[in-house]
Structure 1
Amino acid sequence: MWERQAAAWRNTALSRPSVSPLCALVMAILLSMLLVPSLCLTQDQWDKHLPTVEQNSSLNMKFDPKTTKLTWDCQENATYGECVLIHKEKGQIKKKVKDKECQCTFQDCSLHGGVTLTVEVNINQRRISETLVYLNPGGEGTAAQNFSCLIYNADFMNCTWAKGQAAPNDVQYFLYIRDSKKKIERECPHYLKDSGTHVGCHLQDLSGLTSYSYFLVNGTSQEAGIQFFDSVLLLKEIEQYNPPNNITVHCNESHCFIRWEKPRTRKTLSIREFQYQLDIQRQSNTGSSGNQLIVVSGDSGNKYSFPRPGFRAKHTVKIRTADARKAHWGAWSQPTEFDQCL
């Protein structure tokens, strides 16, 4: 059908040699349309032929690492889908964007490895996606390294780090700590130094810190830009517990019973969040002559019993504490002596 119609147009054009150039142009256009075998396009092909968003529709994205807030220019007649933060360790972290809001705030996460941020926007029924890459400014290898923190005696915390391998000699580091609600930020009140360079921090006041806290070590130098190091720590995972309190031992004709009280911790914890290790040693005239190492879960009622041996001997027991995952065993208690003879 398409071929016959095209032939008819050609015959008409040939039978009218006096046709004007304009008419010939119109007929050529119509002829080319008729020779197209199909005008059906797939959705992908159709999208490619839709008008693209002009360059002046750029969202002008900005990222504030201090507040972890991503902002962009509001566009007229725009609706927003979601923000995405791509983290090297955690992968994609997505946030829904509320209508008429041109921002989204992510939860605290480490940024020293750099992140990629993306926003999807719908403008006049056209979806556009823009990406912003945030990189850690400064020279490679200048950031503090081997960072760690430990809470002890329930009220104190030490954080330590080492000078970056590529850091210049005049580098100076500073530690800042922020609660997870981003309301309280403090600088280290008392630095530990090595040849004048800050390599640690001692804190005696942990009030105001929430379960998750954000730690930032940045640096300054006259010779080069210094990269920062940051970390988000769950405080109960870095607390080293004291030995349990009030250890007592009582023996009857068949068993010995050891009891104790859970130690004081920074935050009140349930008994299930503790583990205890008991070191029971039998004493002889020449010193220790045998010991037992026993792990007892916190839900045991803070007690342990064992059969009384059939011989007379003095024994000692000492106990130490860890969290339920046994990440950090604390120090041993002072030995408690008990005599198994009645």
Structure 2
Amino acid sequence: MGIAELVRRPGSPASLLAVAVLLTMVLDSAWLLPQEQQDLPTVKPNSSLNVKFDPKTTRLTWDCKENTTYGECVLIHKEKGLIKKKVKDSECHCTFPDCSLHGGVTLAVQINVNQRRLSERLVYSNPGREGTAARNFSCVIYDADFMNCSWARGRAAPDDVQYFLYTRSKKRIERECPHYLKDSGTHVGCHLRDLSGLTSYSYFLVNGTSQETGIQFFDSLLLLKEIERYNAPDNITVHCNESHCLVRWEQPRTRQPRSNREFQYQLDVQRWHDTNSNRGQLIVVFGDSGNRYNFPKPGSKAKHTVKIRTADARKAHWGAWSQPVEFGSEEPESSLVHIYILVVLGTLVCGLTLSCLFKRFIRTHRLFPPVPQIKDKLNDNHPVDHEILWEKFTHETGKDDKEEVLIVEKVSEAPAKL
């Protein structure tokens, strides 16, 4: 009776035995499938491989066995999934590429010894109290030669916690941060002035110490190209003719040489001293355009400026703006404010001039008063025509005026006294 027939008879002891055999065969042949499909094989008590894992070197070791014919290591990562490494017959170890381990990983080894398969699994977890590891870790490279990293204290970290940052190169050379940034005595950042030991992918580890409790570590594998902030372009020039303006610039200096097509640029063209620039109309130019941009000359006669900043062609992590480069008219176009200022200044100058002239006239009048003259009452009041006045006077005198005659008698003797 075959295994298939035993399986078709549920409830019998033979059928249960057949199911167990089938499961053993399936697990034995597919134990290296991804974690999403199956779990690693159960550790056999009699395997005694004594598997050990060193997180600093990401190296998995076990006790060597004689007559080993086949071996394979497996690392199951929560983000990267299944990572396999083949083992040579005479080796009793395997080394995995750098990856973050703070979330915990599962490791396993399988070898064949004397036609017998031995396997063992190891779960590596982050030691220390939960919530004590550094958080919000980030790094940025600037000016091509410098890097700043920062992090925050863990939410459950004790008051006496102290963090330390280590970088690891591709050659497994580990270096501690030379210049820490502190907050109330606790390291919360690092400034690196020498990036020579870092490779394209670099490993960063932040561990901690405390007298009160164990501190979990935080680690991360960073692609340096993605965290670099590029400087502004060099040697920006603008040349204009009657209708168009041509902007040229040079590729900025970076930590490692890059082709033009790996960059993108933003241009900001605005009127000189215009604080109300519309940032929503920035011009994006990709590096494969030859580091140049031709645009219609602005219609206004005022002077204009252009600024440029740089980012990676695949991610718009923009760097700082360049210094504004002026182009266009030599003299800026007068605005209403300038006109108002000129009007006010002109009014003040005219007022001051008239005031000075008036004061000078008053002083002159006081020093040289006018000579008094005889007042002509007749002529001062009305302009008189002498001929008309005479005719009128003689005419009226002959007709209307009456002469009074006074009779004087001569008395020879004085009258007698009474």
Corresponding residue number in structure 2 for 1:224: 213
Residues 191-206 of structure 1 aligned to structure 2 (within 5 Å): 191-206=180-195
- The residue type equivalent to 2:265 in the other structure is Y
- The residue type equivalent to 1:266 in the other structure is R
Name the SS for the 1:189 alignment partner: coil
Residues 183-262 of structure 1 aligned to structure 2 (within 5 Å): 184-262=173-251
Give the TM-score normalised by the residue count of structure 2.
0.67
Among 136, 156, 181, the alignment partner of 1:146 is 136
Corresponding residue number in structure 1 for 2:111: 121
- 1:295 equivalenced with 2:284 (yes/no): yes
- The residue type equivalent to 1:132 in the other structure is L
Q: Which structure has greater helix proportion? A: 2
Among 79, 82, 102, the alignment partner of 2:92 is 102
Q: What is the CA–CA distance in structure 1 between the aligned matches of 2:323 and 2:23, rounded to whole Å?
A: 79
Q: Deviations over 1:155-212 (max 9, x none)?
A: 1111000000001100000000011231x22100010000000000011111121111
Give the TM-score normalised by the residue count of structure 1.
0.81
- The residue type equivalent to 2:178 in the other structure is P
- The residue type equivalent to 2:326 in the other structure is E
Deviation at 1:327, TM superposition (A): 4.0
Corresponding residue number in structure 1 for 2:153: 163
Name the SS for the 1:208 alignment partner: coil
Among 312, 333, 358, the alignment partner of 1:323 is 312
- The residue type equivalent to 2:219 in the other structure is D
Tell which has more relative contact order, 1 or 2 (C-alpha 8 A, sep 6+).
1
Name the SS for the 1:146 alignment partner: strand
Q: What is the CA–CA distance in structure 1 between the aligned matches of 2:187 and 2:241, rounded to whole Å?
A: 57
RMSD (CA atoms): 2.4
Name the SS for the 2:128 alignment partner: coil
Q: Determine if contact 1:154/1:266 at 8 Å carries over to the other structure.
A: yes
Task: Work out which of the two has the higher radius of gyration on C-alpha atoms and give 1 or 2.
Answer: 2
Deviation at 1:124, TM superposition (A): 2.2
**Aligned residue-pair number:** 297
Deviation at 1:54, TM superposition (A): 8.1
Q: What is the CA–CA distance in structure 1 between the aligned matches of 2:277 and 2:217, rounded to whole Å?
A: 53
Name the SS for the 1:278 alignment partner: strand
Q: Determine if contact 1:282/1:288 at 8 Å carries over to the other structure.
A: no
Q: Which structure has greater strand proportion? A: 1
Q: What is the CA–CA distance in structure 2 between the aligned matches of 1:192 and 1:76, rounded to whole Å?
A: 53
- The residue type equivalent to 1:209 in the other structure is L
Q: What is the CA–CA distance in structure 2 between the aligned matches of 1:152 and 1:319, rounded to whole Å?
A: 17
Corresponding residue number in structure 1 for 2:325: 336
Unaligned runs of 5+ in 1: 1-36
Q: What is the CA–CA distance in structure 1 between the aligned matches of 2:188 and 2:167, rounded to whole Å?
A: 15
Residues 58-69 of structure 1 aligned to structure 2 (within 5 Å): 58-69=48-59
Name the SS for the 2:319 alignment partner: coil
Corresponding residue number in structure 1 for 2:76: 86
Q: What is the CA–CA distance in structure 2 between the aligned matches of 1:127 and 1:329, rounded to whole Å?
A: 55
From the superposition, tell whether residues 54 and 323 of structure 1 become closer, same or farther in structure 2 (CA, over 3 Å).
closer
Q: What is the CA–CA distance in structure 2 between the aligned matches of 1:319 and 1:46, rounded to whole Å?
A: 65
Q: What is the CA–CA distance in structure 1 between the aligned matches of 2:133 and 2:145, rounded to whole Å?
A: 29
Deviation at 1:131, TM superposition (A): 0.5
Q: Determine if contact 2:234/2:250 at 8 Å carries over to the other structure.
A: yes
Deviation at 1:80, TM superposition (A): 2.6
Name the SS for the 1:236 alignment partner: helix
Identity between Structure 1 and Structure 2 (%): 77
Unaligned runs of 5+ in 2: 1-13, 26-42, 331-418
- The residue type equivalent to 1:118 in the other structure is A
- 1:134 equivalenced with 2:124 (yes/no): yes
Q: Deviations over 1:205-258 (max 9, x none)?
A: 111211111100000000000000000111111111111111000011231100
From the superposition, tell whether residues 83 and 259 of structure 1 become closer, same or farther in structure 2 (CA, over 3 Å).
same
Q: Deviations over 1:73-113 (max 9, x none)?
A: 11112223321100011111111112211111001000000
Q: Determine if contact 1:251/1:340 at 8 Å carries over to the other structure.
A: no
Q: Determine if contact 1:237/1:327 at 8 Å carries over to the other structure.
A: no
